[in-house]
Chain A
Amino acid sequence: MNDLALPHTAETVAAPVAAVPPRRRSLAYLQAAPLTLVFLIFLVVPLVLTGIVSLWEYNEYAIIPALTLQNYADLFDGCLSADLCTTVRTYLSTVKFVVLTLAVTLPLGFAIAYFLAFHIRSGTVRMGLFLLCTIPFWTSNVIRMISWIPLLGRNGLVNDTLRALGLIRQPIEGLLYSDFAVVLAFVHLDTVFMIVPIFNSLARIDRRLIEAARDAGASGAQILWNVVLPLAKPGLAIGNIFVTTLVMGDFVTVGVMGGQQIASVGKVIQVQMAYLQFPAAAANAMVLLAAVLLMILGLTRMIDLRREL
C-alpha cells in the first residue's frame, strides 16, 4: 500500500517546487532593486556622463558637445617618444605613493589586526581599541592636514625636540612638504582601511586550527606563514584594494602635504576642473578609472576573492 501511495506524494511535492522558482526569482530581483537603483543613479549614470563629456570639445570659453578623441590624444601627447610624457610621469609618481603606502600599511595593518584578533580576549577592550584606530577620522581632513604643520614644520615640534636633545644642528627640511610627509599622511589615514578587513579575516580563523598547527610541531613563524597568512588572504586583498583606490584617487593629501609641489593624478584632474576644462578632466578621470580597475583586476587574479568569501 505504501508503494502505491509513494509516487502520488512525490508528485504533489514536486509540483509546488516546480511552480515556486519564477515567483521567488522575481521576488529576489525586487529585493535587490533598491541597491541596484542607488548604484544606477549615483554610480553608473555619472560614469556614463563623465564618459560622454570626455568626448566633447572645449575652448577657453565653452564646452562644445561633439564626438572627438582629442582629449585622450592630448593626454597621451608625446608618450611614444623617449622621455616620459607628463601623464606617464604623473601616474608613476602616484603609483610610487601607492607602493610606499602599501609597504607601510600592509605590515602595520596586519600587525594591529593580528594583535586585536588574537591577543585581545575581551570584546569591550577590542571595541575600545578599534575606536582608537578611528581617531584620525574624528576631525575634518583640512584640520588634520593643517595640524601636521606645527608638528613637522621647520620650527615644528619634531625639529625643536631633536635640536633641544642635541641630535641635530640644522632643522631637517624634508619633514614637511615632501614625499615623506605625503606617505606619512596616507599611512595615518589609510591604515584603518587595512586593519578592518584583515581583522575580519583573522577573527574568522578557528582557534583550534592554531592549536592543531602547534600540535603538529609548527613554530610561531611557521603557524603565521602556513596557517594565518593563507587564511587572511581575502582580508589582505580587500585592504589592498581599499588603500590602492584611496591613494590613486587622492588630491588633497598630496596637495597639502606635498606643498602643492608634487604631481598626482587626482591633483591634475582637480586643476583641470578649476580651469573649467571639464572634457580634459573627464578624459583624465576615465583613464584613472581604467588604471585602478586594472590594478584591482591584477590583485584579484592573485587571490580568487569570490572563492575565498
Chain B
Amino acid sequence: MNVELIGLTKRYGAALAVDAIDLKVPSGAYCCLLGPSGCGKTTTLRMIGGHERASGGAVVIGPKAVGDAPPAERGTAMMFQSYALFPHLDARDNVAFSLKMRGVGKAERRARAMAMLDLVQMSHLAARLPAQLSGGQQQRVALARALVTGPKVLLLDEPLSALDPFLRVRMRVELKRIQTELGLTFIHVTHSQEEAMALSDLVVVMNAGRIEQAADPRTVFERPATAFVARFIGGHNLIRLPEGLVAVRADRMRLGAEAGPAALPARVVAVEYQGTSVHVGLDADGLERPPESPAALTAILSDAAFAARPLHLGDTIPVGWDTAAAHRLDA
C-alpha cells in the first residue's frame, strides 16, 4: 500500500522534531529514511506506525488517513530497534503473539507462526527463548513476528544497527529478498548511507526535522539537492566557486596532467589504500577544510591509476575536475 505524509509535524514542547514534512512512498517501494541521529527520522516512523501522536498534519496509508488509529488498525507492523522480542516466550510464541491477541486458536496460530519462521529460515530454532538466540537469529524472529499478521506496510527502526558488519550485509540481502517476494512497502530508518543506497528504491535524506531530498539512490548520489545531502552521502567534494557552491564526486577529480587549465596546485596530506581504489587527501590554497575532515579535497583513484603514478605525503600536484562532473548546489 502506498503511504503519504502531508505536513506531518511533531513538537515536543517548544522543540520541533519533525517540521511539516510531505512525502509520497509508492506501494511496494523500499523507502529508507536516512539522516544523522536526532534528525526526526525515527519520530517520523513512529508517527506512521501510530506509536507517536502527530502534532499536526496527516498520515495516509492506502486509501484513508489513519488519524490517531492504534497500530494494529493501520495495516502497519513495526520491527523495533534491538528487536523487542518477549523474553519469556520462545521464538514460535513470539511470532504467534499478535495472532493470539486477535483470538486466533492455538493450533492455527502455531501453524502460521511456523510458516513465518520458515520464511526467515528459523523454524529449526522455534523452541528457543530469545536469550538463547544470536543477534541475527533474533532479528529473523522479529521480522517473522512483524510479518505474521500480513501487514501492508512494514516499518523498520534501525534493524541492522545491532548486528556485526558481516551479518549486516547478509541480513540486508535477506530484507530485500523478503520485501521483493512479498511485494510489501518497507519504510526503513537508518543512519548508514551505505545501507540506504544498497536497499532502497526511494532515499529520503532528513536533517533537523525536514526532508532535504527524496529521490532514488542514483539521483541522490549524482545530483545531491543540498550541501547537507552531498556531505552526508559522502564521496563528494564541496567546492566554493565564485559562481556558487558545487559538488564534485571524489572519483571524478583529475590529478596531474589531466587536471586541465583551471587546475590548482595542491599538497597531498593523506593517502589511504582501499583495495580497489586509493583515497588521496589534498589541501590547496584558498580552499577551506570542512570541519572534522582530514583534507580540503578527496580524490579517489583506481588502484591501477595510482600504481602507475604513486603519490606520497607532501607531494604537490595540480588538481582539477571535469566541468561536466561539477553539480551546482542550491544551498
Contacts and interface: CB of A to CB of B under 8 A. Distances in A.
A216 B95 CA distance: 10
Interface stretch (A31-39, A152-160, A206-214, A262-270): A206-214
Contact of B87 (A215, A219, A226, A231): A231
A141 interface: no
A230 B87 CA distance: 10
A202 to B, nearest CB: 14
Nearest to B96: A216
Contact of A217 (B71, B81, B82, B87): B71
Given A208-B84, A211-B80, 17 more contacts: A209-B86, A209-B87, A211-B51, A211-B78, A212-B85, A213-B86, A214-B71, A214-B72, A215-B77, A216-B98, A217-B98, A217-B101, A218-B97, A218-B101, A227-B86, A230-B88, A231-B87
Contacts of B78: 211-212, 215
B101 A215 contact: no
B84 A209 contact: yes
B140 to A, nearest CB: 16
A86 interface: no
A216 B146 CA distance: 8
Size band of the A side of the interface? Answer: 10 to 19
Contact of B72 (A208, A209, A216, A227): A216
Interface string A215-255: 11111001000110011000000000000000000000000
B224 to A, nearest CB: 34
Instruction: State the majority secondary structure of interface residues on A.
Output: helix
Given A208-B80, A226-B97, A226-B100, A215 B86 contact: no
B40 interface: no
The winner among A212, A218, A219 for most chain B CB atoms within 10 A is A212
A50 to B, nearest CB: 40
Interface in A127-142: none
> Closest 8 CB pairs between A and B?
A217-B72, A216-B98, A208-B84, A212-B84, A218-B101, A215-B71, A230-B88, A215-B78
Contacts of A226: 97, 100-101
Contacts of B97: 213, 216, 218, 226
A108 B78 CA distance: 34
Contacts of A214: 51, 70-72
Interface of A: 206, 208-209, 211-219, 222, 226-227, 230-231
Interface in B227-273: none
Contacts of B88: 230-231
B159 to A, nearest CB: 13
A217 B102 contact: yes
Contact of B84 (A211, A219, A230): A211
B149 interface: yes
A215 B85 CA distance: 12
Interface residues of B, number: 22
Given A206-B84, A208-B84, A226-B97, A215 B49 contact: yes
A212 B149 contact: no
A209 B145 CA distance: 13
9 contacts: A208-B81, A208-B82, A211-B51, A211-B84, A212-B84, A215-B78, A216-B149, A218-B101, A222-B101
Nearest to B146: A215
Contacts of B85: 212
Contact of A215 (B72, B100, B102): B72
B101 A212 contact: no
A212 B87 contact: no
B145 to A, nearest CB: 8
Nearest to A219: B101
A209 B51 CA distance: 12
A303 to B, nearest CB: 11
Nearest to A308: B88
A215 B100 CA distance: 13
A216 B101 CA distance: 7
The winner among A216, A226, A227 for most chain B CB atoms within 10 A is A216
A212 B72 CA distance: 11
Nearest to A229: B88
Contacts of A231: 87-88
Contacts of B84: 206, 208-209, 211-212
A214 B84 CA distance: 12
The winner among B77, B81, B97 for most chain A CB atoms within 10 A is B97
A137 to B, nearest CB: 34
A208 to B, nearest CB: 4
B184 to A, nearest CB: 16
Contacts of B86: 209, 212-213, 227
Nearest to A231: B88
A266 B78 CA distance: 56
Contacts of B51: 211, 214-215
A198 to B, nearest CB: 16
Contacts of A215: 49, 51, 71-72, 77-78, 80, 98
Contacts of A216: 72, 97-98, 101, 145, 149
A21 B52 CA distance: 52
The winner among A218, A222, A231 for most chain B CB atoms within 10 A is A218
Contacts of B70: 214, 217
The winner among B77, B82, B84, B87 for most chain A CB atoms within 10 A is B84
